[in-house]
């Protein structure tokens, strides 16, 4: 993450804070007093005056009702010689607000502290800082400067007085420099985030404690932050929490992918909040987070690491000591394929393309991601080794990413390689089982590790294979036909390339109809939703022609459209919904690709005419 | 004390004998020297000249007149005097002499002790007991019980030369009682080994029978057995004649009569057919019988024979091959053709393979040219079973492989590797490994065609083989493969790259052997650069994530592998085959309770380990490797078919 983008999110967070942290009827309000309290402790020493009462049992502070005399917060240095006084404002500093919002009044009171108060006997330096988290106008600054020059130089004949002003930029810079810690967040979240930070620093991404402790803890944290009562400040707080987490775990070797993992769970929760929020600000924040945080971070991540991922056998080398490692490396490969696919789709959805320059930039970005995908496939066999049926999502994203830049043929080549490598697994050769329909990675691991004769993975049905067949229908008939025949004969019927069909039972193909409220459901994470539509093989004939198979498939699609075609009314970007599907292991609605493969007669196929000159898949 | 004259004529024997009786331990250094001296002294002398009476008296006194002690001392004889026929005869004579002073019940008690002795001692005692069976009159009832107990305690195993000699003497010198033994034992279907013993006893009685005054009991017994309605009785009769055939006492006419009488046209694997084939094998001992034996064997192999009969035929034909010369009624070629008419020999026919290995190993020196052709033919006709025998066996065909190397006939391996028959090529590659050859024969390789080279390169790609072996073969092929250019050259360099990617051993071995082949060295350098890049890339933060469950599965997998290694270590360990394995718990030091009730001194555990480099692509890119093998197999099939078509 760049410094500028961190600053941007930090500014966004700080600008949204009130002057004081307090509970209001509409919910708790977070104030800059908490930020200043923590900054002051770091920079100036012990607090002398606080605007709130720190409580032991509660995660909220209690506001003080006593008179302030202009002083919001003050600190005494460790040698007891310097007193630092803060005057806090959550207003824009203007000519008008200088008086109307009490800038002048509070400053006037603040420069006359009670120097005889207990503990201040040794003070010989008094610094009064006006800190405000909103913008400023030149007249406002002018008024402050005049006030400063007219203020006395000494107090009680023993202390020099100086005045300072911290505007929003100063606050952001100082926070960035001194307070990128859980203490930056409201006290309510401090403990939670602090604990998460230590877990993130210790647990490797994907390890058991990561999955069993950190992720549930993070999900709870995100839910708490996004609670209705926090309004748009919740979505603004999450990026800050993520930035702090990342800062704390920088020595964890898995920090980069782990951070994306946390980011994704936060994104899913945000989009869920999006659906329930009527507040345009909140919804805007969520959109901004998705584009400027998640998509941008994915882009930065792959720009930085694609060379490593596209080095020969780099992913394949994960756990290379046994066949168990082959499963693990495939999971990692599909993790990256999925993210690259999301990145491509995210860019396709969100990048502007009104002007020729914008269009060129967008095309360039999409081409570059497609190249990343091809390079990754060329370098790693594990990219051709889907393990679970749910990996149809990554395969679909791959097709979309390549099709969006006109690289249909390359998708055809990859699909061909995929079929070639799935074929021996379908026949039961080797130690790797066929795609697990139950999507149980632990079952796959157990079977490969034990290499038992009694198989744990006994896939009889497949959505992945149907998806693959439908995806190859985006190809030109010259490429599509052989692939369709090959998929059907080899994977569906499990027949040898030559001779009779053999002893394997055909796969039961099935498709899936999402519920009308798919986007709500998938974001909530219900794993059993929608309706499975079962059908046998497209044909019992191992020598069925491509025309016959395509005809059957088309008929099946049309029948599904006619009898059960839900109206999805998507308000959340498809890329975000696909991310939720990936994380929740729920299938993708077939219409997401059927729109290209089997366009309705009244709809036009998505134009995908961008020519590309990237690398070709070698497989 | 041992008689002075004996001590003078047999000084070492006397000294060792005295030590043996006294239970003294001879220093190990002396034992070997003494054994040779014992052998020399016993071989040089006529044992009849030995003064047995005073010797036996001395020994009997030394063991305190105890039968048990005498048995215990006697069964140390091999340890003290060494193993050999002269020692066997000496001890048998000693037993005979000592037993003169025993009462008949004492003799029986002593013979009973043989049955009750520990396995190793029992076999040794049986070796020394044969004279007792000649000199002691043993009732059939005793011998029957003795035999049954011997069989029961030995787990049914009665195959022992010492026992055969005992029973041979019994049959010869106690014929009437021996007839009773047969009458008693034959009606009940006996085990194969007892059946074989009974057949032998019948044969020995027949041999010993006085032709002038034939034993009527024996004649009656033979008639009963021959005409019995019980098949096993007829088998005993027929098998007894097989032993007569060994001596040439069986004429062709008799043999044919037996065949007519006992063998049905439809017999393939009946016990009678087994006896008949056994008879034919034993009749081979006499060249005069070869004509009809060969004819009968030829007609036999036309049937779909059972394993045991095939085994007999194989033995006969190989014996024929070995024994044939210019004057033989049946020549080497005929025997060879007859042998190969049994092919293919199944992997499970272990006896035939065992005999075949011995046959090939032993005849390499004497008949190198014929044997080379034989080996190639063997590989081309039964190569599939042969190559499978290499898997799952410790040091498979090591005797044969060693003989091939010693005879300087490693070139036959190259011939096999270039064979047009796939199984033969695979056998060639296995033999290259077991023979530990450094390279293929360059003279033969330089004559090879492009297709032959392509085939051998593809064969290497089809299975996991020791990387050093692949490197040695690749090194031998380099010059010719690159000289051919085109497909062969490309394939060769591709395979070098793949194997180079697979193991460090391969790269190092190949680099050692190919120093002036820039193309190969360039490929190896590229491979190493690629590996460096991969290693660097794997450190990327993008690849550090864990996969849930991976660690646990890895542990499971390692445990499974450890189990498999344990199992195979026990299966193939020489030690584990005859030493009891004890799992030592909680310590790295161990002691054990000795038979004398004391504890052995503490011993430290020592660690022995062996390691091999696992080809990394097998788990890195398992499917690519699988597809590569499928493609190699398909190409081999294609080339083999085009070869078939052209020939």
Chain A hits for B553, CB-CB cut-off 8 Å, are 324, 327-328, 442, 445-446, 448-449
Instruction: Please count the residue pairs, one from chain A and one from chain B, whose beta carbons lie less than 8 angstroms apart.
Output: 162
Nearest Cα to Cα of residue A105 among A117, A91, A118 = A91
What are the residues facing A164 on neighbouring strands? A129
A257 contacts in chain B (CB < 8 Å): 541-542, 544-545
Q: If pLDDT is split at 50, 70 and 90, which confidence band does A614 have?
A: low
Neighbouring residues of A260: CB distance < 8 A, sequence distance ≥ 6: A297, A298, A301, A339
Q: What is the pLDDT of residue B538?
A: 95
A381 and B558: CB-CB below 8 Å?
Answer: no
- What lies within 8 Å, CB to CB, of B110 at 6+ separation is B67, B70, B71, B99, B102, B132
Is residue A335 scored above 70 in pLDDT? yes
Sign of the C-alpha dihedral computed for residues B147, B148, B153 and B155 taken in this order? positive
Model confidence at A250: pLDDT above 70: yes
| Per-residue confidence band for A364, with pLDDT thresholds at 50, 70 and 90 | very high
Residues A321 and B619: beta-carbon distance below 8 Å = yes
Do residues A326 and B554 lie in contact, with contact meaning Cβ atoms separated by under 8 Å? Answer: no
Q: Nearest residue on chain B to A208, judged by CA atoms?
A: B548
Residue A123 has pLDDT above 80, yes or no: yes
* Structure tokens, A136: 């400023």
Q: Tell me the C-alpha distance between B535 and A381, whole Å.
A: 16
Q: Which residues of chain A are within 8 Å of residue B557 when distances are taken between CB atoms? A: 322-324, 448-450
CB contact under 8 A, B534 and A442: no
- Cβ atoms within 10 Å of A505's Cβ, excluding its own: 10
If one compares A613 and B647, the residue with the highest pLDDT of the two is: B647
Per the CB < 8 A criterion, the answer to whether A324 and A448 are in contact is yes
Please answer yes or no on whether B622 and A430 come within 8 Å at the CB atom. yes
CB-CB contact of B244 with B250 (8 Å): yes
Which residues are within 8 A (CB) of B211 and not within 5 positions of it... i.e. 6 or more apart? Answer: none
- Closest-CA distance of chain A to residue B503, Å: 13
Question: Looking at CA atoms only, how far is residue A441 from chain B in angstroms?
Answer: 8
- For B550, which of A425, A429, A445 is closest by C-beta distance? A445
CB contact under 8 A, B622 and A323: yes
Question: Residue-wise over B469-490: b if at least 16 C-beta within 10 A, else e?
Answer: bbbbbbbbbbebbeebeeebbe
- Looking at chain A, how many residues does it have? 619
pLDDT over threshold 60, residue A609: no
For an interface test with A, which of B537, B613, B628, B638 has the most A Cβ atoms less than 10 Å from its Cβ?
A: B537
Q: What confidence score (pLDDT) does residue B295 get?
A: 92
Note the pLDDT of residue A611.
Answer: 46
Among the residue ranges A42-51, A278-287, A346-355, the one predicted with the least confidence is A42-51
pLDDT value of residue B496 = 97
CB atoms within 10 A of CB A542: 21
Closest CA to A115 of A147, A52, A160, A53: A160
Question: What are the φ/ψ torsions at residue B303 (nearest 5 degrees)?
Answer: -80, 165
- How many Cβ atoms are within 10 Å of B66's Cβ, its own excluded? 11
Shortest Cα–Cα distance, A236 to chain B (Å): 27
Tokens for B139, please give them. 């009732």
Does the beta-carbon distance from B534 to A314 stay under 8 Å? Answer: yes
Q: Does B542 touch chain A (CB under 8 A)?
A: yes
Report the pLDDT value the prediction gives residue A340, as an integer from 0 to 100: 98
CA max distance for chain B? 102
**From the candidates A1, A211, A300, A318, which should be mutated to test the interface with B, based on the most B CB atoms within 10 A?**
A318
pLDDT, tens digit, for every residue of A193-237?
Answer: 999 999 999 999 999 999 999 999 999 999 999 998 888 888 989
Coil, strand or helix at B420: coil
Distance from CA of B493 to the nearest CA of A (A): 18
Cβ of B544 and A385 within 8 Å? no
Among the residue ranges A117-131, A415-429, B37-51, B331-345, the one predicted with the least confidence is B37-51
CB contact under 8 A, B548 and A211: yes
Residue B590: which H helix or E strand, with range? Answer: strand B589-590
> Which range, of A25-34, A283-292, A350-359, averages the lowest pLDDT?
A25-34
Across the interface, whether the CB atoms of B537 and A424 are under 8 A apart is answered no
Instruction: Estimate to the nearest angstrom the gap between the alpha carbon of A323 and the chain centroid.
Output: 31
Q: Which residue on chain A is closest to B536 by alpha carbon? A: A308
| pLDDT band for position A61 (cuts 50, 70, 90) | low
A568, A518 Cβ separation under 8 angstroms: yes
* Candidates A205, A311, A317; nearest CB to B545: A205
* A26 vs A540: which has the higher pLDDT: A540
Alpha-carbon gap: B536 to the closest alpha carbon of chain A (Å): 8
In which residue ranges of chain B is pLDDT below 70? 26-32, 45-48, 154-159, 392-394, 572-579, 647
Helices (H) and strands (E) in chain A, counts: 24, 13
Instruction: Please report the pLDDT score of residue B48 as a whole number.
Output: 61
State whether residue B66 sits within 8 Å of chain A by CB. no
Cα B74 to the center of its chain, rounded Å = 30
The 8-class DSSP code of residue B288 comes to G
Tokens of A251: 């020595």
B549 touching chain A per CB within 8 A? yes
Distance linking the first and last C-alpha atoms of chain B: 82
Phi-psi sector, B237: left (phi>0), alpha (psi -120 to 50), beta: alpha
What are A5's two structure tokens? 């983008």
Cβ of B550 and A335 within 8 Å?
no
Strand A125-132 to A159-166 pairing: parallel
Instruction: Give the single-character DSSP code of A435.
Output: P
pLDDT of residue B377: 95
Alpha helices in B229-367 (DSSP H): 231-246, 252-262, 271-283, 290-301, 307-323, 332-340, 350-363
Cα–Cα distance for residue pair A165/A141, rounded to 1 Å: 9
Question: B540 in contact with A at a CB cutoff of 8 Å?
Answer: yes
B464 touches chain A (CB under 8 A): no
Question: Which residues of chain B are within 8 Å of residue A420 when distances are taken between CB atoms?
Answer: 627
Interface of B with A in 473-532 (CB under 8 A): 530
All residues of chain B having their beta carbon less than 8 Å from the beta carbon of residue A318 are: 538, 543, 547
CA nearest to A431 within chain B: B622
Instruction: List strands edge to edge, sheet with A531-535.
Output: A461-462, A508-513, A531-535
Q: Is pLDDT above 70 for A453?
A: no
Which residue has better confidence, A503 or B8?
B8
Cβ(B630)–Cβ(B458) below 8 Å: no
Is the four-CA dihedral A220, A226, A227, A233 of positive or negative sign? positive
Cβ-contact B616, B625 below 8 angstroms: no
pLDDT given for residue A605 in this prediction: 43
**In degrees rounded to 5, what are phi and psi of residue A611?**
-85, 150
> What are the chain B neighbours of A446 within 8 Å (beta carbons)?
553, 556
Nearest to A443 by CA among A459, A456, A429: A456
Q: Measured between CB atoms, which of B544, B552, B623 is closest to A253?
A: B544
Residue (of B551, B559, B547) closest to A387 by Cα position: B547
Contact A305 B549 (CB under 8 A): no
pTM of the model: 0.77
Residue-wise pLDDT for A560-602, tens only, equals: 988 877 788 889 999 999 999 999 999 999 999 998 888 876 5
Half-sphere exposure of B234 (CA within 13 A, CB side): 16
State residue A604's pLDDT score: 45
Give pLDDT, residue A56.
56
Residue B493: count of CB within 10 angstroms of its CB: 17
Q: How many other β-carbons are positioned within 10 Å of the β-carbon of residue A536?
A: 12
Distance from CA of B502 to the nearest CA of A (A): 12
Asked whether the CA dihedral B561, B562, B565, B567 is positive or negative, the reply is negative
Set of chain B residues whose Cβ sits within 8 Å of the Cβ of A316: 620-621
- Ranges A329-343, A345-359, B356-370, B388-402: which has the least confidence: B388-402
* DSSP tag of A391: G
Q: How far apart are CA B285 and CA A552, in angstroms?
A: 76
B206 CB-near residues (< 8 Å, 6+ apart): B218, B222, B240, B244
Q: Please state the ipTM of this predicted complex.
A: 0.87
DSSP secondary-structure letter at A494?
-
Please return the burial class of A269, using the count of CB atoms within 10 Å of its CB with bins 0-12, 13-18 and 19+.
buried
> Can you tell me whether residue A44 is helix, strand or coil?
coil
Nearest residue of chain A to residue B614 (CA atoms): A321
Task: Give the helix/strand (H/E) hosting A84.
Answer: strand A82-89
- Contact across the interface for B544 and A322, Cβ inside 8 Å: no
Q: In terms of Cα–Cα distance, which of A18, A22, A86 is closest to A48?
A: A86
Q: How far is A381 from chain B (nearest CA, A)?
A: 6
Q: How far is CA B65 from CA B2, B6, B525, in A?
A: 16, 22, 82
Interface of B with A in 616-645 (CB under 8 A): 616, 619-624, 626-627, 630
* pLDDT, mean over chain A: 89
Partner-chain residue, chosen from B544, B549, B560, that has the shortest CB–CB distance to A441:
B549
Residue with tokens 């009779």: A500
Distance CA A574, CA B150 (A): 85
Could you tell me if B608 lies within 8 Å of chain A, comparing CB atoms? no
Mean pLDDT of A443-471: 84
For residue A250, the chain B residue with the least C-alpha distance is B541
Residue with tokens 């040698």: A79
Q: Is the pLDDT reported for residue A59 higher than 60? A: no
Q: What whole-number distance in Å separates Cα of residue A507 and Cα of residue A504?
A: 9
Are residues B547 and A441, on separate chains, in Cβ contact within 8 Å? yes
């Amino acid at each position: 993450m760049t410094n500028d983008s961190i600053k941007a999110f930090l500014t966004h967070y700080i600008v949204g804070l009130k002057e004081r942290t307090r509970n209001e009827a509409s919910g708790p309000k977070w104030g800059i007093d908490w930020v200043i309290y923590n900054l002051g402790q770091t920079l100036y020493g012990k607090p002398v005056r606080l605007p709130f009462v720190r409580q032991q049992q509660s995660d909220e502070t209690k506001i003080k009702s006593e008179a302030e005399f202009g002083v919001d917060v003050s600190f005494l240095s460790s040698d007891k010689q310097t007193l630092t006084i803060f005057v806090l404002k959550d207003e824009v500093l203007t000519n008008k607000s200088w008086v109307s919002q009490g800038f002048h009044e509070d400053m006037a009171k603040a420069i006359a502290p009670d120097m005889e108060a207990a503990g201040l006997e040794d003070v010989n330096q008094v610094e009064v800082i006006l800190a405000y988290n909103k913008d400023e106008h030149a007249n406002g600054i002018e008024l402050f400067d005049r006030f400063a020059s007219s203020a006395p130089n000494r107090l009680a004949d023993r202390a020099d007085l100086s005045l300072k002003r911290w505007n929003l930029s100063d606050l952001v810079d100082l926070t960035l420099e001194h307070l990128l810690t859980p203490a930056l967040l409201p006290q309510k979240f401090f403990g939670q985030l602090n604990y998460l930070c230590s877990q993130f620093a210790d647990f490797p991404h994907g390890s058991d404690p990561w999955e069993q402790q950190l992720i549930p803890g993070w999900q709870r944290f995100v839910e708490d932050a996004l609670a209705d009562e926090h309004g748009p400040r919740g979505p603004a707080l999450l990026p800050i929490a993520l930035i702090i987490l990342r800062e704390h775990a920088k020595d964890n070797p898995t920090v980069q992918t782990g951070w994306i993992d946390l980011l994704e769970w936060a994104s899913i929760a945000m989009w869920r909040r999006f659906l329930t929020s009527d507040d345009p600000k909140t919804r805007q924040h969520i959109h901004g987070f998705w584009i400027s945080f998640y998509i941008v971070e994915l882009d930065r991540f792959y720009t930085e690491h694609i060379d490593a991922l596209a080095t020969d056998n780099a992913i394949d080398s994960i756990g290379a000591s046994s066949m168990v490692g082959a499963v693990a490396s495939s999971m990692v490969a599909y993790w990256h394929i999925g993210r690259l696919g999301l990145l491509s789709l995210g860019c396709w959805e969100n990048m502007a393309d009104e002007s020729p320059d914008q269009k060129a930039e967008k095309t360039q970005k999409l081409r570059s991601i497609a190249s990343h995908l091809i390079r990754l496939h060329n370098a790693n066999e594990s990219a051709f080794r889907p393990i679970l049926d749910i990996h149809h999502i990554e395969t679909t994203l791959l097709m979309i990413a390549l099709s969006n830049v006109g690289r249909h043929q390359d998708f055809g080549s990859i699909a061909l390689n995929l079929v070639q490598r799935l074929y021996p697994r379908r026949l039961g050769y080797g130690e790797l089982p066929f795609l697990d329909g139950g999507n149980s990675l632990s079952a796959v691991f157990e079977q490969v590790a034990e290499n038992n004769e009694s198989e744990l993975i006994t896939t009889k049905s497949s959505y992945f294979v149907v998806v693959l067949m439908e995806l190859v229908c985006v190809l030109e008939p010259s490429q599509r036909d052989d692939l369709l025949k090959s998929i059907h004969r080899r994977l569906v019927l499990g027949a040898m390339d030559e001779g009779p069909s053999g002893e394997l039972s055909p796969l039961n193909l099935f498709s899936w109809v999402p519920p009308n409220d798919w986007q709500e459901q998938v974001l909530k994470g219900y794993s059993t939703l929608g309706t499975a539509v079962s059908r046998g093989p497209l044909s019992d004939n191992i020598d069925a022609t491509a025309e016959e198979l395509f005809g059957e498939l088309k008929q099946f699609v049309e029948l599904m459209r006619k009898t059960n075609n839900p109206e999805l009314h998507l308000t959340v970007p498809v890329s975000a919904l696909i991310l939720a599907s990936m994380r929740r292991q729920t299938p993708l609605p077939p219409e997401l690709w059927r729109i290209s493969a089997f366009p309705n007669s009244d709809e036009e196929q998505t134009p995908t005419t961008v020519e590309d000159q990237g690398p070709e898949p070698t497989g | 004390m041992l008689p002075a004259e004996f001590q003078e004529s047999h000084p070492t024997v006397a000294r060792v004998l005295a030590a043996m009786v006294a239970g003294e331990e001879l220093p190990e250094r002396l034992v070997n020297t003494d054994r040779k001296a014992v052998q020399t002294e016993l071989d040089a002398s006529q044992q009849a000249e030995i003064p047995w009476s005073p010797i036996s008296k001395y020994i009997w006194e030394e063991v305190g007149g105890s039968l048990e002690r005498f048995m215990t001392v006697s069964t140390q004889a091999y340890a003290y005097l060494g193993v050999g026929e002269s020692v066997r005869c000496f001890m048998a004579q000693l037993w005979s002499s000592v037993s003169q002073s025993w009462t008949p019940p004492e003799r029986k008690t002593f013979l009973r002790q043989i049955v009750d002795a520990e396995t190793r001692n029992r076999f040794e005692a049986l070796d020394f007991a044969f004279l007792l069976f000649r000199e002691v009159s043993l009732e059939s009832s005793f011998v029957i019980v003795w035999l049954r107990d011997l069989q029961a305690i030995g787990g049914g195993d009665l195959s022992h030369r010492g026992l055969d000699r005992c029973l041979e003497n019994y049959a010869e010198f106690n014929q009437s009682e021996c007839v009773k033994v047969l009458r008693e034992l034959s009606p009940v279907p006996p085990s194969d080994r007892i059946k074989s013993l009974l057949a032998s006893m019948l044969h020995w009685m027949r041999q010993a029978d006085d032709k002038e005054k034939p034993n009527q009991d024996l004649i009656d017994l033979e008639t009963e057995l021959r005409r019995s309605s019980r098949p096993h009785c007829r088998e005993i009769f027929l098998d007894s004649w097989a032993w007569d055939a060994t001596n040439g006492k069986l004429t062709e006419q008799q043999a044919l009569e037996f065949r007519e009488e006992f063998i049905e046209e439809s017999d393939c694997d009946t016990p009678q057919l087994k006896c008949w084939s056994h008879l034919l094998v034993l009749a081979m001992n006499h060249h005069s019988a070869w004509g009809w034996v060969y004819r009968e064997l030829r007609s036999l192999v036309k049937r779909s024979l059972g394993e045991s009969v095939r085994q007999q035929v194989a033995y006969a034909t190989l014996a024929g091959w070995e024994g044939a010369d210019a004057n033989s009624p049946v020549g080497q070629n005929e025997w060879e053709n007859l042998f190969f008419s049994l092919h293919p020999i199944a992997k499970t026919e272990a006896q035939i393979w065992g005999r075949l290995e011995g046959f090939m190993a032993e005849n390499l020196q004497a008949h190198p040219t014929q044997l080379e052709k034989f080996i190639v033919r063997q590989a081309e006709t039964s190569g599939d079973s042969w190559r499978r025998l290499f898997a799952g066996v410790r040091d498979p065909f090591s005797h044969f492989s060693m003989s091939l190397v010693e005879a300087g006939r490693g070139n036959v391996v190259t011939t096999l590797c270039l064979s047009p028959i796939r199984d033969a090529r695979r056998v060639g590659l296995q033999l290259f490994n077991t023979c530990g050859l450094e390279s293929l024969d360059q003279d033969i390789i330089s004559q090879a065609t492009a297709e032959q080279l392509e085939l051998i390169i593809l064969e290497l790609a089809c299975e996991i083989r020791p990387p050093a072996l692949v490197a040695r073969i690749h090194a031998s092929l380099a010059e010719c493969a690159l000289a051919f250019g085109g497909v062969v050259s490309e394939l060769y360099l591709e395979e070098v790259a793949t194997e180079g990617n697979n193991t460090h051993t391969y790269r190092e071995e190949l680099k050692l052997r190919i120093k002036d082949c820039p193309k190969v060295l360039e490929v190896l350098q590229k491979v190493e650069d690629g590996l460096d890049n991969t290693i660097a890339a794997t450190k990327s933060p993008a690849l550090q994530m864990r996969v849930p469950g991976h660690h646990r599965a890895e542990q499971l997998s390692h445990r499974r592998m450890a189990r498999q290694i344990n199992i195979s270590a026990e299966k193939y360990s020489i030690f584990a085959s005859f030493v009891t394995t004890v799992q030592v718990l909680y310590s790295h030091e161990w002691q054990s309770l000795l038979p004398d009730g004391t504890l052995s001194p503490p011993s430290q555990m020592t660690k022995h380990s062996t390691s091999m480099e696992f080809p990394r692509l097998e788990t890195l890119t398992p499917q690519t490797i699988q597809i590569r093998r499928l493609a190699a197999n398909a190409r081999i099939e294609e080339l083999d078919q085009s070869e078939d078509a052209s020939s």
